[in-house]
Structure 1
Amino acid sequence: KRKEREGKERRMGERCCAAVVRVLVLQAAWALSGGQVRYSVPEEAKAGTVVGRLAQDLGLEAGEAEARRLRLVAQGRRASVEVSGASGALLVSSRLDREELCGKSAPCALRLEVLLERPLRVFHVQLEVTDINDNAPIFPAARKNLSITEFTTLPGSRFPLEGASDADIGMNAQLTYTLSPSEYFSLDLQKTEEDGESLFLVLRKSLDRETIAVHRLVLTATDGGRPSLTGTMELVISVLDANDNMPQFNQSVYKVQVPENSERGTLVIRLNATDLDEGSNSNISYSLQMLSQQDGRDVFRIDRTSGEIRLTGDLDFEDVNLYRLQVDATDKGTPPLSGHCKVVVEVLDVNDNAPEVWVTSLSVPVPEDASLGTVVNGRVRCWVWPASPFGLEATFLGSYSLVLREALDRERVSEYEVEVRAEDGGAPALRASRGLRVPVSDVNDNAPLFAQAVYTVLARENNAAGAELARLWARDPDEAANGRVSYSVWEGGVAGGAAGSSYVSVDAESGRLWALQPLDYEELQVLQFEVRAVDAGEPPLSGNATVQLFVLDENDNAPALLPPAGSSGTLWAWAAWGAPAGQVVAKIRAVDADSGYNAWLRYELWEPRGKGPFRVGLYSGEVSTARALDEADGPRQRLLIVVRDHGEPARSATATLSVSLLEPNEAALAAGSSAASSAVSRSAAGVELGPAAASAATNVWLVVAICAVSSLFLLAVVLYGASRWAPRAAVLSGPGPTTLVCASEVGSWSYSQRHSRSLCVADGAAKSDLMVFSPNFPPPPPAPAAKDTQPEPSALLDTVSGNTLLSSLTHIQPFWTSRCAGSAGVQAPCPRAGSDEYLTRA
């Protein structure tokens, strides 16, 4: 024990000596280095960032900083650093902002005091905060307004601008300036040691206020940081006006007609001159500077402010029938500028003079032996040429009235040129003539008329709301408001059915037919409504047209397996060992809500691939044995069957069928136990068991099937005879015969007149098949007269046209040929394309 105690005392003494030596070495090192540690940290460093290993730099060992309580003496708010008690590292404790701590001073150094106890020591730490580019250049104001006089300010003139400031230092505060593109202004930056930087806006081109009254430019300052930051200031340069534009009249000569019986003070004309200048340079005064040879000073007067010329005297057509005036418009600029125009005043004659009659050919007395043909008193004969709806009626001696003798039709003749001829009874006779132009004004006597009574419109389902379906056009031969037609959907024209206004809308002016919502073929196949065209006459007249909107089917529905095939469960079936090839085990049934080719389903065995013991009928969905079953096939087979339609793109559904392979006696027992519920299984399970599973039920259904097939055959023969020899009336009017085509479930095509076939897939409900035909729109009407503002009708459909439908029908031939040549159910040779047998064969 004594030896152990002596050893402990010796080791303790050695430790004290080592500590004293370290302190002495540390003091000597600090004395040599001035006792100061320097660190550098960038501003905006995150809290917790290590500035330096203070304890290690002070020569302390691990854990000694915490034992001797290494800390900052007076940290203060501006330090934003702290000493970690555990590690002795100097850490950032809060946000460091160099601009807030030191402003523009460089470098930015913080002096810290660090206290170390046991023994007590004080150290000085210098922390330099380096600058980062965290301040964008700032202009003194966001906008600066300048005023420059047009034309008088010469190119090369300079206008001082205040530069931007940047709170950063160094390269982060080195600014460059750019100006938005302008053909009138540029920037000039001058740097001198005495004045520093001076920024000027330089005028490159003379300004014209009438061209551009205000110039808006953007001055951008960019610093030299990485990445660089920018600041902007808007320069608003207002161009001051100079009197460089003279007043201008919109015409050089004005012609005015004034009746001679106009009262004094009557307004003759109101003149208006414009001056592109502003302020006093655009204030205009008017004056009559020169008159024609006829003295009109006492007849006309002009208002110097408004430019109105009024009568101040009486007019007399028989005295003066034409006045020529000159008007000056002078602005109030310095010097003043003037504009000129002429006013020609024509005095119109009114019937203010009674007729005067002179007798110059009367010879009296008349000798009794005067020969025949002697003129005693001349009579004047008047008539209208050519023959027209007008005629002359004598009112009193020497006066005639032009009267209407026939009904007029402006749509046939809108204006008549009438010549009135007069011939006296002298010898030789003298003739005179006068031409009259009689325009015919319009009345609203024609209702708008559509090009056809019934329009056929084809639209694919799932169309976008707002898509254009067609354009209707009604012609109204009237003019102006009487011929201006507006369109609307009229609900009162068709009784029953879906409301057309719920699905479509027609543009009131153009007649374009729009879709209000996407169409769904499964919900609506045919929509019939009426479009009414109403003119703007008084009273208004209207015309109607029936629109038959046929919705074309798209492949937007996937095949649906009948329950429970559509669920996540697995279908079950049984087969006996040794069953021969071709033995039907089950039947997958599915329906497709689409129509035609989109609803034609095919069945494919997806798993297992290769040479499995089972196969599935391509179009029947019957699962049968591909070969004789043996024990090597295992006790159970799991089949994954995919049902696809023929749409573009094709849609599909999958069904899982589990087939249990049993001994013949077990299969018979399973068939007997399931015979009672076989009818329910066929309707609810989505799978029909094969003969091996329900042989008794198969015999019954076989008899029923034979009877049904016989009945359908007789019905088909009757329908074929009726369609063969019955008169074929077109369904819709239009160019060429109209044909309805529909697809059956096995891919054959049937033909019908005015009726669509019903398509039944498996045991699902019947649904109308797709009807395909050519639209019956006539060619567009001829171009209307110049006064007619009705638009030309465009193509009926943008997406579906007659050529598209014909090209779609051409797909029937290769399809039918392939089915005719490749299907086992077709015994006769393929008929010729286009023949009745080709169209009606099923």
Structure 2
Amino acid sequence: MARGGYKAWLGRLAVLILCLILTFNITSAQLRYSIPEELTVGAVVGNIAKDLGLDTSALNARGFRIVSGSTEPLFQLNNNGILHLNRKIDREEVCQRISTCIINIKTVLENPLEVHYVSIEVLDVNDHSPTFSENETHLEISESALPGARFQLQGAHDPDSDMYSIQLYKLSQNDHFRLEVKDGEDGKIPVLYLHKPLDKETARSHRLLLTAVDGGKPAKSGTLRIIVHVLDVNDNMPVFARDSYAAVLKENSPIGTTIMQVNATDLDDGLNGEVVYSFSNNVNNKLRKLFEVDANTGEIIVKGLIDFEAKDKYEINIKASDKGPVPLATEKSVVITIVDLNDNAPEIEVTSFSSAIPEDSKPGTTVALISVTDNDSGLNGKVICHISEDVLFTLTPSLQDNMYSIVTKSLLDREHQSKYDVTITCKDAGEKTLSSYRTISVTVSDVNDNSPEFSTNPYTFYVIENNVAGASLFSVSAYDYDEGDNALILYNILRNGNENKKITSFLNINSENGDILALKSFD
């Protein structure tokens, strides 16, 4: 189309529109009202007829109505031109978060046609409290977290706008946390700031209260419970329940006997707080053969033969360790004192002994020296020895402990008894007495203390005359209680007596057997 033709067309269009306006007599006007939200149904919004200067007497004939709006009209216009509220308006529902909430409607007055545009601004009312999406939230923070660490929280929501929206956050008073607030796209965002280090062993959790406050007068608020769970770090060593441990154990206690139980606790949690027990590295193999420790219970148990005579006291270092990734350990000394039992009988040793003593020995002559030992201690090792009363010997203590002398207590007579079995009895002083016996044989050696004795005294013999010279006439016999050489007898005839000199000159005697021979024939 040529430029001139286009202008002509626009001119004709403008004329046409003017003709239509004149034909239908259309007029328009613009009105603006402001109402607060939450007004009651039926409340007057405004008098449109009055505000437009219309003739109210002719309104009923002409017809006055609203021709635009929602399917459920918010407003109602009566024939008098008064605009009423048809239902309660919730600004947050109608306008959501728009700062200025305006509802536009179009009213029509007929015969002739008049169109009037009405703008209604819905003013915000502080009818909502700030709310959090949850009533309670849980945070897990390690006790190793350093001061200055920050933890963003989910903010509260308030549908109200501007000054009636959330203006500030407050945190309940506490020692460890402070509150910071930063601005975000959707409003203010609360941030939890760690002010002081956490210690799980002091407090396992912390309960905080976050409060969101709007700008209304009076202000409305909402709260969020914050529970901070402190996560454990292996920062505590096991601690033994007692400063020192001591136990008393009887020797010869059966294998498996529980001596005592040590106990340690660790304030940490989980594996960091689980304690296991063991021997310290400096415990030698000898002790490990005698004792063992239960890793879980801390019980110290007899594993081998406990002998007081081998050792009467043991000192063992027990280690308590946690199960953390890098275990922490504590050591404690345990002293075990062994109690002696009377399990050793006295031992008798003859250190010097004369197997034979002369029978003429004086009373108090030492026959033997004995040594007595008992490996037990105390009364269990205290030994008393004696010899039975029916022998001619006695036991005399020596100046040296547990040494005794066996001595004669009266004269001996070999011819009466040539051998004695002397039994030494030694008993300890234990509650259950143990005793030992040792017998030595003492031989009494002979002394020539007995003279020979003839079997008959005097002898009377009869001889026949005419005997053969040199033949045995008769025999005499003597005996001696001594022995050996002391008992050898030699016979001879005493020839120095005057009376017997004549007779003895005719006789001779065999010195060895006592046979008497005639030197001549008798008549």
2:141 to 148, 151, 165: 148
Q: What displacement does 1:350 show?
A: 4.3
Q: Does 1:171 align with 2:168?
A: no
Measured against aligned partners, the alpha-carbon deviations of 1:561-607 in whole angstroms (never above 9, x if no partner) come to xxxxxxxxxxxxxxxxxxxxxxxxxxxxxxxxxxxxxxxxxxxxxxx
**Structure-1 residue corresponding to 2:52:** 58
Superposition TM-score, scaled by structure 1 size: 0.37
Contact (CA 8 Å) 1:290, 1:327: kept in 2 or not?
A: no
Contact 1:54 1:88 in 2 (8 A): yes
| Structure 1 position 280, deviation (Å) | 3.0
1:337 to 313, 325, 328: 328
Does the 8 Å contact 1:78/1:101 carry over to 2?
A: no
In the alignment, which of 90, 113, 133 is matched to residue 83 of structure 2? 90
* 2:312 maps to 1:321: yes
Q: Who is 2:74 aligned against?
A: 80
How far off its partner does 1:129 sit?
1.0
Alignment match of 2:106 (pick from 106, 113, 116): 113
Structure 1 partner of 2:193: 202
Q: Do the aligned partners of 1:281 and 1:331 also contact (CA within 8 Å) in 2?
A: yes
Task: State the secondary structure of the residue aligned to 1:181.
Answer: coil
Alignment pair present for 1:229 and 2:220: yes
Name the structure 2 match of 1:728.
Answer: none
C-alpha displacement of 1:132: 0.7
Deviation per CA, 1:515-553: give whole Å up to 9, x if none: xxxxxxxxxxxxxxxxxxxxxxxxxxxxxxxxxxxxxxx
Tell me if the contact between 2:29 and 2:117 (Cα under 8 Å) persists in the aligned partners: yes
Q: The residue matched to 1:258 in structure 2 has which SS?
A: strand
Q: Secondary structure at the match of 1:297?
A: helix
Structure 1 residue 399, shift from structure 2 partner: 11
SS at match of 1:171: helix
Which of the two has greater helix per residue?
A: 1
Asked whether the equivalents of residues 249 and 337 of structure 2 are also in contact (C-alpha less than 8 Å), the reply is: yes
Deviation at 1:298, TM superposition (A): 1.8
1:303 aligns with one of 281, 294, 297? 294
Supply the AA of the counterpart residue of 1:156: G
Distance apart, 1:191 and its partner CA:
4.5
- 8 Å contact kept, 2:279–2:317: yes
Is there any run of 5+ residues in structure 2 with no aligned partner, and where? 1-23, 346-379, 387-394, 398-406, 412-427, 432-523
Alignment partners' CA distance in 1, 2:285 and 2:193: 60
Q: Which residue of 2 aligns with 1:250?
A: 241
2:385 aligns with 358
CA contact (8 A) 1:322 1:347 kept: yes
Q: Pick which of 355-364 and 213-222 moved more.
A: 355-364
Cα distance in structure 2, aligned partners of 1:205 and 1:399:
68
Q: Does 2:115 match 1:122?
A: yes
Mapped partners of 1:351, 1:91: distance in 2: 115
Deviation at 1:247, TM superposition (A): 0.9
Task: Provide the C-alpha distance between the structure 1 equivalents of 2:207 and 2:189, rounded to a whole number of angstroms.
Answer: 22
Deviations 1:163-201, CA, capped at 9 Å, x for gaps: 333222121124211111111111122449x99755432
Q: Which residue of 1 aligns with 2:279?
A: 288
What per-residue deviation string (whole Å, max 9, x for no partner) do you get for residues 132-170 of structure 1? Answer: 11122233444443333223x221222333333322212
* Aligned pairs for 1:420-819 within 5 A: none
| 1:319 Cα offset (Å) | 4.0
Give the whole-Å Cα distance in 1 for the aligned partners of 2:120 and 2:205: 53
The one-letter code sitting in structure 2 at the alignment partner of 1:58 is L
Residues 345 and 37 from structure 1, CA distance in 2 versus in 1: closer, same or farther, beyond 3 angstroms?
A: same
- Mapped pair 1:277 → 2:306: no
- Secondary structure (helix, strand or coil) at the match of 2:287 reads coil
Of 45, 69, 76 in structure 1, the residue corresponding to residue 63 of structure 2 is 69
**Given that residues 103 and 119 in structure 2 are in contact (C-alpha distance below 8 angstroms), is that contact kept between their aligned partners in structure 1?**
yes
| Larger mean Cα displacement after TM superposition, 286-295 or 259-268 | 286-295
1:675 alignment partner in structure 2: none
Q: CA deviation at 1:119?
A: 3.9
Tell me the distance in 2 between the aligned counterparts of 1:298 and 1:398: 32
- Give, as a single letter, the amino acid of the residue that structure 1 aligns with 2:31: V
Relative distance call for 1:398 and 1:281 in structure 2 (3 A) is closer
Residue 131 of structure 1, CA deviation: 0.8
Who is 1:220 aligned against? 211
Does 1:131 pair with 2:124?
yes
Shift of 1:61: 4.8
Tell me if the contact between 2:342 and 2:430 (Cα under 8 Å) persists in the aligned partners.
no
The structural deviation recorded for 1:125 is 1.7
Deviations, residues 72-109 of structure 1 (Å, cap 9, x unaligned): 22453454221234x54211121201111111123211
1:284–1:300 Cα change, 3 Å: same
- Deviation, structure 1 residue 57: 2.3
Q: Matched residue of 2:164: which SS?
A: helix
AA paired with 1:36? Answer: Q
**Greater share of strand:** 2
Tell me the amino acid that sits aligned with residue 128 of structure 1: E
Letter in 1 for 2:311: V
Displacement, 1:115?
A: 2.9
Task: Flag the 1:196–1:96 CA change in 2: closer, same or farther, 3 A.
Answer: closer
Q: Which moved more, 1:354-363 or 1:65-74?
A: 354-363
Please list the CA deviations of residues 649-674 of structure 1 after superposition, one character each: whole Å capped at 9, or x if unmatched.
xxxxxxxxxxxxxxxxxxxxxxxxxx
Tell me, yes or no, if the aligned pair for 2:130 and 2:166 is still in contact at 8 Å.
no
Distance 1:270 1:63, change over 3 A: farther
CA distance in structure 1 between the partners assigned to 2:258 and 2:328 by the alignment = 27
The one-letter code matched in structure 2 to 1:72 is I
Counterpart residue number, 2:374: none
Distance apart, 1:53 and its partner CA: 2.0
Q: Which residue of 2 aligns with 1:184?
A: 176
Q: Which has the higher contact order (CA 8 A, sep 6+)?
A: 2
Change (3 A) 1:45 1:366: farther
SS at match of 1:296: helix
Q: Distance in 1 between matches of 2:430 and 2:158?
A: 99
Tell me if 1:160 matches 2:152: yes
Task: Rate the CA distance shift 1:322–1:399 in 2: closer, same or farther, 3 A.
Answer: closer
Q: Which residue of 2 aligns with 1:104?
A: 97
SS of the residue 1:342 aligns to: strand
Any idea what SS the aligned residue of 1:345 has?
Answer: strand
Equivalent pair of 2:207/2:227 in contact (CA under 8 Å): yes
Residue 280 of structure 2 aligns to a residue whose secondary structure is: strand
Following the alignment from structure 2 to structure 1, what is the Cα–Cα distance between the partners of residues 232 and 85?
Answer: 62
- The structure with more radius of gyration: 2
Q: Is the 8 A contact 2:246 2:336 kept in 1?
A: yes
Whole-Å separation in 1 of the counterparts to 2:321 and 2:242: 16
Distance verdict in 2 for CA 1:53–1:185, change over 3 Å: same
2:303 to 296, 312, 318: 312
Distance 2:115 2:41 in 1: 26
Q: Judge conservation of contact 2:280–2:331 (CA < 8 Å) in 1.
A: no
Identity %: 39
Identify the range of structure 1 (166-175 vs 95-104) with the bigger mean alpha-carbon deviation: 166-175
AA matched with 1:253: S
**Alignment-mate amino acid for residue 169 of structure 1:** S
- For 1:812, the equivalent position in structure 2 comes to none
Contact 1:290–1:325 (Cα < 8 Å) also in 2: no
Contact 1:247 1:330 in 2 (8 A): yes
CA distance in 2 between partners of 1:174 and 1:253 (Å): 62
For 2:4, the equivalent position in structure 1 comes to none
